[in-house]
């Protein structure tokens, strides 16, 4: 091995990467959830991956699987992964020499002798930047972190997508249940109207009772179009999430099904588990790593750059001699450049990269806090809505008995119609609230699964 090769290898081995080495932040987390329940269990990542199956609703499961295969936001996120992977490949290519080939066929002319000489040539040109201060290494480090951030973004889009499908499905089923309650109450109100009309026609009551009863019928009838609109809009949104035309799911989703319910014993773990599970936190952390590496890329511009360049070729005036040693030419050059004056541009760029890194760190810390907030909000919502649902169930049963009694007494002339009307309105309100509470409880459970980072699978499993 000649001395030039030894010197080059020694130079490469002594190369270092300037700029800060990335250290993942360690946020200050509470040891337990403030609103955790006695049913809390250790976080189970495998169970979270398919959390919607706990609702035991085959149609919901089918819709979610279809959304994973058809959603366009998810396809866009996958394309971003491919873009980030290609950018990493571009950055890695700077580690290697750039080689270009050339060829020429022509002639030269000497005006003094008036002679034209043919000229033939083939050659290879190469250049290679030696990464003395880690500019290329930091660039690769940054693009690798960006790739990992895009993978986490894909997983985060999947978490949001699955939750959105489930939420719209629950809202649709809630509206359908409210529509059914309204229809049942409309039928009951029609019976009361017929009773009031009969009593008026029989001279047992005045016309006001019949008119008030008819007004209640018309009010209930007016509620139905709004509920139909809500149902259709949820169906349209589900279709868009699945990547199909808006009205294509209306027929299959207009079946008679109840609001999805599930067991409240959800394994929520501790705050540190959510830090590891949620893909949006991982994305923010990887974006911070990418920005940190960019500081090194900018800092390396302060230091010298060593570029090796050379060429080897064949050049002759006879085509028959082109591939002989007579026409062989070669050269090898080492070029060292050092920035002397740039009006502070390099240092200002370093300052820009540092400021962007601080912004990304703040984004990461905000993401962590929002993740903790999401879990706490869902936990307190589940606990309070569960109690509200129990209270509404009892109140609805009491109102149902009161309504039966009021109707019987009015039919017998033992009470005024106003009591029947007020009792009917109370019952309708409680029934609507009870159905709404059922849907809201399922909504909080879905929100908790989303807050825990449930629903994503690794790309190797897709």
Instruction: Say if residue 412 is in the same domain as residue 278.
Output: yes
| Per-residue pLDDT tens over the stretch 378-434 | 999 999 999 999 999 999 999 999 999 998 898 888 888 888 889 988 999 999 999
Q: What is the pLDDT along the chain (462 residues), one digit of tens a residue?
A: 445 544 554 454 445 789 999 999 999 999 888 887 555 567 788 888 999 999 999 999 999 999 999 999 999 999 999 999 999 999 999 888 888 777 666 666 665 666 676 765 566 677 888 888 999 999 999 999 999 999 999 999 999 999 999 999 999 999 999 999 999 999 988 988 888 888 888 888 888 888 888 888 898 999 999 999 999 999 999 999 999 999 899 999 999 899 999 987 888 888 888 888 999 999 999 999 999 999 999 999 889 888 887 776 555 555 555 555 555 565 667 777 888 878 789 999 999 999 999 999 999 999 999 999 999 999 999 999 999 999 999 999 999 999 999 988 988 888 888 888 899 889 999 999 999 999 999 999 999 999 999 988 776 545
How far does the chain reach from its first CA to its final CA, in angstroms? 50
Q: Is residue 363 part of a domain?
A: yes
Instruction: Say if residue 434 is in the same domain as residue 314.
Output: no
- Point out the domain boundary residue: 316, 337, 358: 337
Q: Is residue 172 part of a domain?
A: yes
Instruction: Say if residue 157 is in the same domain as residue 202.
Output: yes
Instruction: Say if residue 371 is in the same domain as residue 310.
Output: no
Task: Note the Cα 36 to chain centre separation in Å.
Answer: 26
Instruction: Say if residue 200 is in the same domain as residue 331.
Output: no
- Look at residues 175, 377, 169, 183 and name the one whose alpha carbon lies nearest to residue 261: 169
**What is the structure's pLDDT at 352?**
94
Q: Is residue 1 part of a domain?
A: no
CA distance 231 to 249: 11
Q: Is residue 11 part of a domain?
A: no
Enclosing domain of residue 318:
97-130+304-337
Residue with structure tokens 């940054």? 142
CATH number at residue 196: 1.20.1600.10
- Would you say 454 and 271 are in contact if contact means Cβ atoms under 8 Å apart? no
CA distance 127 to 97: 6
- Helix pair 135-201, 72-93: axis angle to 10 deg: 170
Q: How far is CA 169 from CA 175, 182, 249, in A?
A: 10, 20, 12
| Per-residue pLDDT tens over the stretch 86-106 | 999 999 998 888 887 776 666
- Helix pair 207-242, 58-70: axis angle to 10 deg: 40
Q: Is residue 367 part of a domain?
A: yes
Instruction: Say if residue 177 is in the same domain as residue 40.
Output: yes
Instruction: Say if residue 322 is in the same domain as residue 381.
Output: no
Instruction: Say if residue 173 is in the same domain as residue 268.
Output: yes
Of all residues in the chain, the percent with pLDDT exceeding 90 is 55
Residue with structure tokens 């019949």? 210
- Point out the domain boundary residue: 320, 337, 354: 337
CATH number at residue 328: 2.20.200.10
Token duo for residue 110: 């000497």
Instruction: Say if residue 327 is in the same domain as residue 429.
Output: no
**What is the structure's pLDDT at 461?**
46
Instruction: Say if residue 206 is in the same domain as residue 251.
Output: yes
Q: Is residue 9 part of a domain?
A: no
Handedness of CA 203, 204, 208, 211 (dihedral sign): negative
Instruction: Please write down the HEC assignment for all residues of the chain.
Output: CCHHHHHHHHHHHCCCCCCCCCCCCCCCCCCCCCCCCCCCCCCCHHHHHCHHHHHCCHHHHHHHHHHHHHCHHHHHHHHHHHHHHHHHHHHHHCCCCEEEEEEEEEEEEECCCCEEEEEEEEEEEEEEEECCCCHHHHHHHHHHHHHHHHHHHHHHHHHHHHHHHHHHHHHHHHHHHHHHHHHHHHHHHHHHHHHHHHHHHCCCCCHHHHHHHHHHHHHHHHHHHHHHHHHHHHHHHHHHHHCCCHHHHHHHHCCCCCCCCCCCCCCCCCHHHHHHHCHHHHHHHHHHHHHHHHHHHHHHHHCCEEEEEEEEEEEECCHHHCCCHHHEEEEEEEEEECCCCCCCHHHHHHHHHHHHHHHHHHHHHHHHHHHHHHHHHHHHHHHHHHHHHHHHHHHHHHHHHHHHHHHHHHHCCCCCHHHHHHHHHHHHHHHHHHHHHHHHHHHHHHHHHHHCCCCCCCHHHC
- Point out the domain boundary residue: 294, 315, 337: 337
- Would you say 123 and 420 are in contact if contact means Cβ atoms under 8 Å apart? no
Q: Is residue 5 part of a domain?
A: no
Instruction: Say if residue 84 is in the same domain as residue 54.
Output: yes
CA distance 310 to 312: 7
Domain count, the chain: 2
- Would you say 61 and 151 are in contact if contact means Cβ atoms under 8 Å apart? no
**What is the structure's pLDDT at 55?**
95
Instruction: Say if residue 205 is in the same domain as residue 291.
Output: yes
Q: Is residue 148 part of a domain?
A: yes
**What is the structure's pLDDT at 432?**
94
Token duo for residue 380: 């307190």
């Amino acid at each position: 091995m000649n001395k030039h090769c030894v010197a080059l290898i020694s130079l490469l081995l002594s190369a270092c990467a300037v700029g800060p080495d990335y250290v993942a932040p360690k946020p200050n987390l509470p040891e337990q959830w403030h609103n955790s329940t006695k049913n809390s269990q250790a976080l189970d990542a495998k169970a979270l991956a398919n959390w919607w199956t706990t609702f035991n609703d085959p149609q919901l499961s089918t819709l979610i699987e279809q959304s994973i295969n058809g959603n366009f936001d998810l396809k866009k996120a996958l394309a971003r992964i491919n873009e980030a992977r290609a950018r990493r490949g571009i950055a890695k290519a700077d580690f290697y020499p750039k080689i270009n080939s050339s060829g020429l066929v022509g002639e030269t002319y000497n005006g003094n002798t008036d002679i034209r000489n043919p000229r033939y040539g083939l050659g290879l040109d190469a250049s290679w930047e030696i990464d003395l201060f880690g500019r290329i290494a930091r660039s690769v480090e940054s693009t690798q972190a960006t790739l990992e951030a895009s993978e986490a973004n894909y997983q985060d889009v999947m978490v949001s997508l699955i939750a959105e499908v489930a939420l719209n499905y629950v809202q649709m089923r809630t509206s359908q249940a409210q529509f059914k309650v309204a229809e049942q109450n409309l039928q009951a109100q029609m019976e009361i109207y017929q009773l009031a009309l009969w009593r008026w026609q029989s001279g047992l009551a005045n016309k006001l009772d019949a008119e008030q009863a008819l007004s209640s019928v018309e009010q209930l009838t007016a509620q139905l179009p709004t509920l139909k609109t809500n149902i259709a809009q949820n169906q349209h949104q589900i279709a868009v999430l699945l990547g199909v035309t808006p009205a294509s799911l209306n027929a299959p989703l207009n079946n008679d099904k109840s609001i999805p319910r599930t067991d409240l014993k959800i394994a929520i773990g501790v705050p540190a588990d959510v830090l590891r599970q949620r893909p949006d936190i991982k994305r923010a952390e990887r974006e911070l790593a990418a920005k940190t590496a960019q500081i090194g890329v900018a800092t390396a511009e302060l230091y010298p750059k060593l570029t090796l360049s050379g060429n080897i070729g064949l050049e002759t005036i006879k085509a028959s001699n082109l591939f002989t040693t007579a026409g062989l030419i070669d050269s090898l050059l080492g070029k060292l450049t050092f920035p002397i004056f740039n009006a502070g541009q390099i240092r200002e760029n370093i300052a820009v990269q540092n400021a962007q890194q601080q912004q990304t760190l703040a984004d990461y810390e905000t993401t962590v806090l929002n993740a903790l907030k999401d879990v706490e909000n869902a936990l307190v919502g589940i606990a309070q809505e569960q109690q509200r649902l129990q209270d509404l169930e009892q109140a609805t049963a009491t109102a149902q008995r009161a309504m039966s009694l009021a109707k019987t007494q009015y039919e017998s002339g033992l009470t005024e119609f106003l009591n029947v009307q007020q009792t009917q309105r109370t019952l309708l309100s409680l029934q609507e609230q009870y159905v709404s509470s059922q849907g809201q409880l399922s909504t909080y459970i879905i929100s908790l699964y989303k807050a825990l980072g449930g629903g994503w699978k690794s790309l190797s499993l897709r």
